[in-house]
Structures are given as C-alpha cells and as structure tokens.
Chain A
C-alpha cells in the first residue's frame, strides 16, 4: 500500500516570501501521479499542481512549482511571492495508474501567510 507523509503540520511565511512544503511517499510502483491540493478556510479542495512520475521535468503553475526527486520519493511544493490568499491547508496526494483517480492523501500542512 502507498503512504504519503507530510512532516510539517504547520508553517508560516511572510507575504512576498518563498516557502517550501515537504512531502515524501512510499511506493513500489514505477509509474504514478502526484498532486498538491489546497484547502482554504472555505473548505473547498482545489488542485494546485500535478506531476507525472515518468516526466523528469518539474511541474510549474505560475507561482507554484514542485521539486520532484523520484529516487528519494520526495515531492515538495514551492510557493513563490506568497500572497495572503495562499493561506490554507495543503495536501500532498499519490495516485497509482489504473486506479480510476483513487488518491491517497498526506495529513496536510497548514500554511499561514502573514503581513
């Protein structure tokens, strides 16, 4: 079974600064997908970024980028130029191919962006 670990329960960053959220996972699969979801206080789960394991290039979406280290089974999220609206819980998630988008989530990191 796959496991996803987020070792930082809470983090804080000042507005306009950069922050990195950590995620590690355990799997015996060679091909899989990794995701970061954001959950603001509104409770909605919002997809931030997606990485396919067979792609070596790190995914980027505007201010959000990942550092995907397949050998180390690490998948960190970097948020640049942090904004107050980035305040949220962030969940790392793993998906094995052929499982109809069935996701295994980490326990989340609560990010607070301050003035």
Chain B
C-alpha cells in the first residue's frame, strides 16, 4: 500500500497563474478530501467526494478554486488565477466509509 500520493510536493508560481494539485487516493477507498493548512486558519476542509461525487464543497473559498474526481483513483484541485493569499499546504486524504483518514504528504504552494 503506497498510501495517498500527492504531487507536486512543492509548487512555486506567480500571481495570476493556474495551479493544479494532484492526488491519488489509496486503492479501494471511496471518500476523498482536500484540506488546506495555514498558520492563521489551521486545517480547513475545502471539499470532499464520496464515490467520485462531490458531497460538500462549502469550504471552497471562492470560484477561483475547483476540484474534480474523474475516477476513483485520481483527483485534482485547481486554482485559477492564483493569488498570494492562496499560499498554504494542501493535503489530500482518503478513507473507506467511516474509517480514519489517511493523509498524503501535502503540497506546499507558494504564490509570489
């Protein structure tokens, strides 16, 4: 079991550019979560999917953020256009039913 795999590990981009973060959940897990971690706000849930369907996206900050899960083994979180305040660590996590979350190693995003 390779765990939840996120890429890239680090991303540095300029304001206004499009950023795409990628996640491969653990095989067999049916729920996938995107969290954002900042010093000011801690860990915030952005969106989660159940069986590839978005269930709750109330945490997505604004229309510049979008997430997709085209199949059970892949999800993306896109920010377009990016802004400096989007700088954070973005975590993907997966679970099977109500089992504990398994987190990826996160993507550290820096927008200059």
Interface residues, chain A, with chain B CB atoms under 8 Å away: 33, 35, 37, 42-47, 50, 91, 95, 97-108
Contacts and interface: CB of A to CB of B under 8 A. Distances in A.
A37 B33 CA distance: 16
Interface of B: 31, 33, 42-43, 45, 48, 50, 55-56, 89, 91, 93, 95, 97-103, 105-106, 108
Given A44-B105, A45-B103, A100 B97 contact: yes
A26 B31 CA distance: 25
A16 B101 CA distance: 30
Nearest 7 pairs of A and B residues by beta carbon: A45-B103, A101-B95, A105-B43, A100-B31, A107-B42, A47-B100, A100-B50
A107 B40 CA distance: 9
A50 B100 contact: yes
A31 B33 CA distance: 22
Nearest to A104: B45
Given A101-B31, A105-B42, A95 B98 contact: yes
B15 to A, nearest CB: 24
Given A47-B100, A91-B43, A101 B89 contact: no
A106 B42 contact: yes
Contacts of A33: 98
Nearest to B100: A47
Contacts of B103: 37, 44-46
A22 B100 CA distance: 21
B33 A102 contact: yes
B91 A45 contact: yes
